[in-house]
């Protein structure tokens, strides 16, 4: 009986202890929760920061701090390299607060979240498309935006990634003797990326595909144009060999 009484007493004390520990957190003001999030964020503890800022949003007591918390949560996801969650957070922020002074920044970071999801050329290319669409929107909506120079460079890289993928697929068709599919891919690439620095490469593979398909005249025409327009290109030498 004495042992049972001791166990009950200890249980009561433990419950009181844990309740006492949790009470200050439950009674914290919105300002304190927000500041706790800032401290975690500055310390690089992004998951803890997100947890605190989510509590700020859930209180509904300070619209101003809630808006700040929404953007901060997206930033914390971004710095934690949780780019899928970050992109969703920035998109939600823009939808909820389209006229907010930070809407342009959110659009930029949304595009960068997609950009940072880009991996190898033989993987899903959806992040490239999403990044290009979002970053193009930034340039149109914020022509004088603070991140314009960086965004322009990322757009260029995205377009180069797109061309690289078209070449990858076209070369696969060429290698597997599906010449007409290769021709279609290279022709489209030549139109879409007319101003690309890799135009000579596209022309070379297009001319080669025509030759392999038995369209000798068309193939020589393309390769001859390559040699004329890009005489210093390494592909010009390869074009000469292919024509012979």
Q: What per-residue confidence (pLDDT) applies to 18? A: 44
46 burial level (CB within 10 Å; 0-12, 13-18, 19+)? buried
In the predicted model, what is the mean pLDDT of residues 143-171? 96
pLDDT tens digits along 28-85: 888 999 999 999 999 999 999 999 999 999 887 888 999 999 999 999 999 999 999 9
Pick among 3.40.190.10, 1.20.1530.20, 1.25.40.10, 3.40.960.10: CATH of 177-244:
1.25.40.10
Q: How far is CA 39 from CA 48, 49, 68, in A?
A: 10, 8, 15
With b for 16 or more beta-carbon neighbours within 10 A and e for fewer, the 96-105 pattern comes to: eeeeeebbbb
Residue 11: what are its φ and ψ, rounded to 5°? Answer: -65, -40
- Per-residue pLDDT band at 12 (split at 50, 70, 90): very low
Alpha carbon distance 146, 105 (integer Å): 9
Residue 30, Cβ neighbours under 10 Å: how many? 19
- Per-residue pLDDT band at 26 (split at 50, 70, 90): low
* Average pLDDT for the chain: 89
149 burial level (CB within 10 Å; 0-12, 13-18, 19+)? exposed
Where exactly are the structural domains of the chain? 177-244
Above pLDDT 70, what percent of the chain?
A: 89
Alpha carbon distance 213, 207 (integer Å): 10
User: Which residues, 6+ apart, have CB-to-CB distance to 169 below 8 Å?
Assistant: 185
pLDDT tens digits along 85-127: 999 999 999 999 999 999 999 999 999 999 999 998 888 899 9
pLDDT tens digits along 162-180: 999 999 999 999 999 999 9
- Per-residue pLDDT band at 7 (split at 50, 70, 90): very low
């Amino acid at each position: 009986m004495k042992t049972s009484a001791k166990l009950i007493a200890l249980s009561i004390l433990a419950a009181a202890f844990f309740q006492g520990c949790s009470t200050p957190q439950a009674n914290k003001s919105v300002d304190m929760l927000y500041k706790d999030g800032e401290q975690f964020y500055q310390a690089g503890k992004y998951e803890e920061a997100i947890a605190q800022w989510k509590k700020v949003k859930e209180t509904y007591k300070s619209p101003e701090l809630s808006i700040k918390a929404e953007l901060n949560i997206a930033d914390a996801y971004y710095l934690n390299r949780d780019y899928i969650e970050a992109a969703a957070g920035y998109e939600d922020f823009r939808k909820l607060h389209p006229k907010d002074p930070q809407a342009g920044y959110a659009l930029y970071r949304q595009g960068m979240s997609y950009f940072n999801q880009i991996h190898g050329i033989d993987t899903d290319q959806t992040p490239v498309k999403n990044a290009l669409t979002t970053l193009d929107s930034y340039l149109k909506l914020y022509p004088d935006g603070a991140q314009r120079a960086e965004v322009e460079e990322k757009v260029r890289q995205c377009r180069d990634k797109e061309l690289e993928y078209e070449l990858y697929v076209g070369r696969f068709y060429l290698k597997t003797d599906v010449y007409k599919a290769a021709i279609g891919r290279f022709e489209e690439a030549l139109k879409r990326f007319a101003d690309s620095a890799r135009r000579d490469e596209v022309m070379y593979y297009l001319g080669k595909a025509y030759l392999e398909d038995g369209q000798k005249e068309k193939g020589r025409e393309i390769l001859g144009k390559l040699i004329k327009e890009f005489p210093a290109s390494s592909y010009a030498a390869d074009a000469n060999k292919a024509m012979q």
